[in-house]
Chain A
Amino acid sequence: MPRVTPLYSTYRFHSRATEFAGYTMPLMFKGIIQEHLAVRERAGIFDVSHMGRFMVEGRDAERFLNHLVTVDVARAEAGRAQYTFLCHEGGGVMDDLITYKLGSDRFMVVVNAANREKDFEWISRWMAGMDVTLKDVTDDSVLIAVQGPRSADLVKEALGLEVSGIRRFRFVLASYGGLEVVVSRTGYTGEDGFEMAVMGVSLQRPQVGMEMWDALLEKGRRWGVEPCGLGARDTLRIEAGLPLYGNELAQEFTPVEAKLDRFLDMSKFDYIGKPVHERQLKEGTAKTLVGLVCIGNAVPRSHYGVFLGGRQVGFVTSGTFSPILRKGIAMAYVDSNVAKEEKELEVDVRGIKCKAEIHPPPFYDPRRYGWRRTS
């Protein structure tokens, strides 16, 4: 039996469902494109309670995590959220995650839903001799994301939480309906926005989570804010050039190959996978992740081949139709030499070679869309 989140009953009859990571989740509400544009232009609300949430606590919490993740959680001040990776000894990615530093002896860690059990086991494996505990709190909390340029106004108006002062990748502890909420200025859409983990909400006691969801929708309705499903979540993250575990990230790919080395702290004494990353940064890698924009009317999908002059030079990891560009876009691993020298490649779209330009992420104009927008 697939699981559902504590918010499921609020949207069950207003959405089309899909199975994801063992959960029945909303794929779409009114439609992927409509939801996508609402987030880019106004705001959208997502139930992402399926994502795994762990607490890492104890005197050695900082030292312990620092051995496992690729950024320096010790140097970060409390209130920092850090995007980082769990890697294995070969440098490949076990998962990408966000660490929330509540204090040097207390962290919340948010991991991919599909990796929840695997990560828990992997993290547990390194605990021997450490004063540290690991607790999975996924089932005792909900995670609601509000994304889009109007997010701060919406959270303030709907929930009474003053969040405009929170800086990007910072969080605060707030209170809503008598429960503790971790409010971070983070997200997976490229837009400004917030993710709110409401602690103490479960399938048995979903009320406060449902109240928050309803309040956001109710207030947002007259602004054109939409509830959004996993369909829009995927098109938004691809358009922003953000990686997904299982597509761009996997045990056989390293963060260096995925061009995410800004999240590897080489000044740190040590972490699992560091020697491989160090070598790759010095010597380069055989393949590298690039963005592609199709020139004709074609949509690349994952596993489609990427070609140059009849020779296969790579493969698509994620592809979709971009509602902003109105074109097919993709991320693909290609030979590093090809990535360096070429401007245009071809994608084999079901037997037809379609021209595609190499384009650095994000795919949209960052002056007009995304959290750095200037207009």
Chain B
Amino acid sequence: MKVKDYDVPEDLLYTKDHEWVRLEAEEAVVGITHYAAEMLHDVVFVTLPSLGAKVEAGKAVANVESVKSVSDVFSPLSGVVTSVNQELTQHPELINQDPYGRGWFFRAKLTSLEAERGGLMDPSSYAKLLEELVAQEG
């Protein structure tokens, strides 16, 4: 679905901080949403977690630096990082060009999915959040 110009794919889960999660068996792929990428606009540098790092739900794991500002990316779920998208260090613009595809950040093996899953938003709740934000923008 779409809110204004922002894509909200229906096969993903979301956080209020505009990260997305794709669940695949016991693993999750994580990135930032189209809306977040648009708000940052020109992403120029990315810092990613290291392979094997333990990540905790709600804790900063990466950051994205745009021309005007730097923002933390929070891990939506707890787990251990099994791969990171190294392509982003050379081509951070992928986050703007393809936020749900080649702009992914990292993949993690989850450790507390059952307990934490309830803290994520489904596509329609995330779309509702975006509608409120878009309305505030005027």
Q: Which residues of A contact B (CB under 8 A)?
A: 27-28, 31-33, 231, 235, 297-299, 301, 320-321, 323, 326, 350
Residues on the B chain within 8 Å of A320, using CB: 67-68
| Nearest chain B residue, comparing its CB with the CB of A321 | B44
Whether B42 and A299, one on each chain, are in contact in the complex, defined by CB atoms closer than 8 angstroms, is: no
In the complex, whether B45 has a CB less than 8 A from a CB of chain A is yes
Whether B70 and A28, one on each chain, are in contact in the complex, defined by CB atoms closer than 8 angstroms, is: no
A-B contact pairs, 27 of them (CB 8 A): A27-B68, A28-B41, A31-B41, A31-B42, A32-B41, A32-B42, A33-B42, A231-B67, A231-B68, A235-B67, A297-B45, A297-B89, A298-B45, A298-B65, A299-B44, A299-B45, A299-B65, A299-B70, A301-B70, A320-B67, A321-B42, A321-B44, A321-B45, A321-B67, A323-B67, A326-B44, A350-B63
Residues on the B chain within 8 Å of A350, using CB: 63, 70
What would 9 more interface pairs be, CB under 8 Å, given A231-B67, A321-B45?
A28-B41, A32-B42, A32-B67, A32-B68, A297-B45, A297-B89, A299-B44, A299-B45, A321-B65
- The distance in angstroms between the C-alpha atoms of A28 and B39, with both chains bound, is 11
Residues on the A chain within 8 Å of B42, using CB: 31-33, 321
Residues on the B chain within 8 Å of A301, using CB: 70
- The distance in angstroms between the C-alpha atoms of A298 and B63, with both chains bound, is 11
Residues on the B chain within 8 Å of A321, using CB: 42, 44-45, 65-67
Q: How far is the CB of A30 from chain B (nearest CB, A)?
A: 10
- The distance in angstroms between the C-alpha atoms of A231 and B67, with both chains bound, is 8
- The distance in angstroms between the C-alpha atoms of A323 and B43, with both chains bound, is 12
- The distance in angstroms between the C-alpha atoms of A326 and B92, with both chains bound, is 12
Interface centre among B45, B63, B66, B89, by most A CB within 10 Å? B45
Interface range, B side:
10 to 19
Residues on the A chain within 8 Å of B67, using CB: 32-33, 231, 235, 320-321, 323
| Nearest chain B residue, comparing its CB with the CB of A235 | B67
Q: How far is the CB of B34 from chain A (nearest CB, A)?
A: 15
B contact patch SS = strand
Interface centre among A28, A297, A320, A326, by most B CB within 10 Å? A297
Interface centre among B45, B65, B66, B67, by most A CB within 10 Å? B67
Q: How far is the CB of B41 from chain A (nearest CB, A)?
A: 6
Q: How far is the CB of A247 from chain B (nearest CB, A)?
A: 14
Q: How far is the CB of A224 from chain B (nearest CB, A)?
A: 18
Residues on the B chain within 8 Å of A33, using CB: 42, 67
| Nearest chain A residue, comparing its CB with the CB of B38 | A16
- The distance in angstroms between the C-alpha atoms of A27 and B68, with both chains bound, is 10
Q: How far is the CB of A319 from chain B (nearest CB, A)?
A: 11
Which of B17-74 touch A at CB < 8 Å? 41-42, 44-45, 63, 65-68, 70
Q: How far is the CB of B29 from chain A (nearest CB, A)?
A: 24
- The distance in angstroms between the C-alpha atoms of A299 and B40, with both chains bound, is 15
- The distance in angstroms between the C-alpha atoms of A33 and B63, with both chains bound, is 20
Residues on the A chain within 8 Å of B44, using CB: 299, 321, 326
Q: How far is the CB of A221 from chain B (nearest CB, A)?
A: 22
Q: How far is the CB of B103 from chain A (nearest CB, A)?
A: 16
Q: How far is the CB of B65 from chain A (nearest CB, A)?
A: 5
A-B CB proximity, top 10 nearest: A321-B44, A32-B67, A33-B42, A297-B45, A321-B67, A299-B65, A31-B41, A31-B42, A32-B42, A231-B68
- The distance in angstroms between the C-alpha atoms of A301 and B89, with both chains bound, is 20
Q: Chain B, 62-93, contact with A by CB distance < 8 Å: what is the 0/1 string?
A: 01011110100000000000000000010000
Residues on the A chain within 8 Å of B65, using CB: 298-299, 321
Residues on the B chain within 8 Å of A235, using CB: 67
Residues on the A chain within 8 Å of B68, using CB: 27, 32, 231, 320
Residues on the B chain within 8 Å of A231, using CB: 67-68
Residues on the B chain within 8 Å of A326, using CB: 44
- The distance in angstroms between the C-alpha atoms of A231 and B70, with both chains bound, is 15
